[in-house]
């Protein structure tokens, strides 16, 4: 980690060589959820995620930002929004190597993993920008990277998409993340208990939070008051 090098926020789509690094960061950041879902090693989960996950770079309804410390991926945020027209999904279901995956990881693990990914999927409504995931490398926390990513997403949502608000889901047990989101002007709109998600991820309660785009200047002000994640 180089404390003197400024962190750069860039578009993921322009840095496809970092696909493995992005998946690895996501798996490590949400290790507890993935480990609850399937009894596989982190490297196996990274491989499985890459095999079945639609590559989430830039599209007509999504944008993924990554934080770079030199050549190292240290943070990632995926933003998606409502689109009236259906998109052609890059990785069709018939392109997923099910036979190979089941032979390598077991039918039950592959099936459970795919069900889990479907359970986490959220479809944003009109005028909504949804943050599907936000992750920062353990070695780079407390440096304000999560805030940089959130501010980048908020600016993009306001200036490019003209959305009314950004939203996200967070586990009720993730108090550090909730504290950060509150500082960044997100407010809990609702909470719900999902027996299905509890069974899959051992996370029974989820909080849905929103931040109005009209309050974006207050978000910038908060980022100066609270400079660390």
Query: pLDDT tens digit string along 63-114?
Result: 999 999 999 999 999 999 998 766 555 455 667 888 999 999 999 999 999 8
Measure the CA–CA gap between 176 and 169, rounded to whole angstroms.
Answer: 14
Give the CATH number of the domain where residue 56 resides: 3.40.630.30
**Is 193 part of a structural domain of the chain?**
yes
Residue 100 belongs to domain spanning: 8-225
117 token code pair: 């990914």
pLDDT at position 198 over 80: no
Measure the CA–CA gap between 69 and 89, rounded to whole angstroms.
Answer: 31
The whole model's pTM is what?
0.85
Measure the CA–CA gap between 25 and 159, rounded to whole angstroms.
Answer: 28
Of the pLDDT bands very low, low, confident and very high (cuts 50, 70, 90), residue 124 is very high
CA 172 to centroid of chain Cα atoms: 17
Q: What is the pLDDT of residue 95?
A: 74
**Is 3 part of a structural domain of the chain?**
no
Q: What is the pLDDT of residue 203?
A: 74
**Is 162 part of a structural domain of the chain?**
yes
| Helices 145-156 and 216-225: angle between axes, nearest 10 degrees | 170
Q: pLDDT > 70: what percent of the chain?
A: 79
Of the pLDDT bands very low, low, confident and very high (cuts 50, 70, 90), residue 36 is confident
201 token code pair: 């991820």
Of the pLDDT bands very low, low, confident and very high (cuts 50, 70, 90), residue 219 is low
Domains of the chain: total: 1
Of the pLDDT bands very low, low, confident and very high (cuts 50, 70, 90), residue 59 is confident
**Is 41 part of a structural domain of the chain?**
yes
| Helices 107-120 and 98-105: angle between axes, nearest 10 degrees | 110
Of the pLDDT bands very low, low, confident and very high (cuts 50, 70, 90), residue 128 is very high
The alpha carbon torsion through 140, 145, 149, 152 (nearest 10 deg) reads -140
DSSP state letters, 158-182: IIII--SEEEEEEETT-HHHHHHHH
pLDDT at position 176 over 60: yes
Of the pLDDT bands very low, low, confident and very high (cuts 50, 70, 90), residue 223 is low
**Is 2 part of a structural domain of the chain?**
no
Average pLDDT over residues 193-202: 68
Measure the CA–CA gap between 152 and 25, rounded to whole angstroms.
Answer: 19
**Is 134 part of a structural domain of the chain?**
yes
pLDDT at position 58 over 80: no
Average pLDDT over residues 164-174: 92
pLDDT at position 226 over 90: no
């Amino acid at each position: 980690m180089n404390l003197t090098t400024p962190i750069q926020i860039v578009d993921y789509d322009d840095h496809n060589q970092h696909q493995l690094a992005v998946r690895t960061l996501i798996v490590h950041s949400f290790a507890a959820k993935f480990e609850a879902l399937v009894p596989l090693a982190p490297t196996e989960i990274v491989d499985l995620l890459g095999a079945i996950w639609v590559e989430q770079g830039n599209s007509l309804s999504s944008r993924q930002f990554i934080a770079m410390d030199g050549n190292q991926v240290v943070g990632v945020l995926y933003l998606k929004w409502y689109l009236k027209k259906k998109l052609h999904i890059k990785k069709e279901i018939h392109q997923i190597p099910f036979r190979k995956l089941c032979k390598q990881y077991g039918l039950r693990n592959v099936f459970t993993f795919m069900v889990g990914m479907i359970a986490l999927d959220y479809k944003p409504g009109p005028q909504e920008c949804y943050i599907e995931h936000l992750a920062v490398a353990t070695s780079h926390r407390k440096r304000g990277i999560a805030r940089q990513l959130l501010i980048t997403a908020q600016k993009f949502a306001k200036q490019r998409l003209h959305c009314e608000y950004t939203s996200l889901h967070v586990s009720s047990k993730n108090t550090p993340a909730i504290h950060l989101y509150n500082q960044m002007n997100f407010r809990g709109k609702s909470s719900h208990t999902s027996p299905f998600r509890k069974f899959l991820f051992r996370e029974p309660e989820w909080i849905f939070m929103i931040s109005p785009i009209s309050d974006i200047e207050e978000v910038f002000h908060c980022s100066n008051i609270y400079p660390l994640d």
